[in-house]
Structure 1
Amino acid sequence: MKKVLIALDYNPSAQKIAETGYGLAKAMNARTVLLHVISDPTYYSSLNYSPIMGFDSFNSVDTIQSDTAEKLKKAAQNFLDKSKEYLGDERIETVVSKGDFGDTILETATKLNADLIVMGTHSRRGLEKILVGSVAENVLHHSLIPLFIIPTKTLKGNQ
């Protein structure tokens, strides 16, 4: 394994996913790439953010009002930079992409020749799963490379 792609969202579980994925990459002496996918801007206005990895809010980017793609991209890059700083490795690459979460994770993994995708699952159920879908499930069903899925349902804030 030469490259591990770690997909992160703004959920507080991102810290566990980043730490676990980075530890796995380090153990295999593989390069680490942190990915954040920007999707529909309205998605961001309804999330409940918690301080993670030194990223405490969108205030550093003039409080996102879901009005511009550039603000979303800047906030996402700031989030990945803080995550990289938290992990303490300047060699970590960061990528911000736009599109459908699952499809973009798969496309980025292919484009970067990743050997492994690390991501979490929020274990959505019932109506929420029908309406929102499961990104992890989508990636699992369509990935041609190994996938390491970290369950996050028991983490604080995801119960």
Structure 2
Amino acid sequence: MKFQKILIGVDDSKFAENATQYGFELAYQFKADVALVHIVEPVITTPANDTSMMGSLIPSLNVGAEQVDMINAQQTYSQKLISDTIERYGKGLTITQYNEMGDTADTIINCAAQFKADLIVIGTHSRTGFDRFLMGSVAESVIRHSPVAVLVVPMKEEKS
């Protein structure tokens, strides 16, 4: 099997950095095109005068100036993260960029479909038990729902 289009999920964690290295090594080996995706999950906020505890997703139609500033800051950070990753690993490769907002697993799969990826590379925290139950697993959700191959690059968290 030869991979021609590899989508790599990036964030600012050491787990994603580890997976990014793997993804780019494969891209060079197969002379594949690469897509980098960084996803910002919407923040749930509750207005100060709301006693319902329901909150609302951002962005919404009632976005305040401070929320717009937060979204802009997240987008700027996302672009810088992707640019730094390209500079560090992407010399000589064709790279597509996705800066998205949404559910991480679903958005990774959607970007892979848009890019027509034949491999998704993501990192994992290697959580087990109660930690995994509380935090969920983006990697597990991507594996379950992806129509293309997924390479999950594990990295054990160091105990303090």
Into which bin does the TM-score normalised by the smaller protein fall? Answer: 0.7 to 0.9
Q: 1:66 touches 1:72 (CA, 8 Å); kept in 2?
A: no
Matches within 5 A, 1:8-27: 8-27=10-29
Q: 1:84 aligns with which of 64, 79, 86?
A: 86
- Whether the 8 Å contact between 2:11 and 2:81 is mirrored in structure 1 is no
Amino acid at match of 2:152: I
The CA deviation at 1:88 is 4.3
Contact 1:35 1:94 survives alignment (8 Å): yes
* Superposed CA RMSD: 2.2
Residues 8-32 of structure 1: CA distance to partner in whole angstroms, max 9, x if unpaired? 1211233221111011011111101
Does the CA contact (< 8 Å) of 1:152 and 1:158 recur in 2? Answer: no
- TM-score normalised according to structure 2 size: 0.76
CA distance in 2: counterparts of 1:38 and 1:135, whole angstroms: 13
Identity %: 33
Residue of structure 1 equivalent to 2:38: 36
2:109 alignment partner, one of 95, 101, 106: 106
Q: Higher RCO, 1 or 2 (CA under 8 Å, sep at least 6)?
A: 2
Secondary structure of 2:12's partner? coil
Q: Which amino acid aligns with 1:136?
A: A
- Tell which deviates more after alignment, 30-39 or 85-94: 85-94
Q: Matched residues in 1 for 2:43 and 2:68: separation?
A: 5
Q: Distance in 1 between matches of 2:16 and 2:159?
A: 12
- 1:37-69 Cα shifts (integer Å, max 9, x gaps): 111348xxxxxxxxxxxxxxxxxxxxxx99521
CA distance in 2, matches of 1:116, 1:99: 21
Distance in 1 of aligned mates of 2:159 and 2:88? 22
In structure 1, runs of 5+ residues without a counterpart are: 43-64
Larger radius of gyration: 2
User: Structure 1 length as normaliser, TM-score?
Assistant: 0.76
1:149 paired with 2:149, answer no
**Would you say how many aligned residue pairs link Structure 1 and Structure 2?**
135
Asked if 1 retains the 8 angstrom alpha-carbon contact of 2:15 and 2:154, the reply is: no
After TM superposition, the runs of 4+ consecutive aligned structure 1 residues lying more than 6 A away are none
The aligned amino acid for 1:145 is V
Question: Does the CA contact (< 8 Å) of 2:39 and 2:102 recur in 1?
Answer: yes
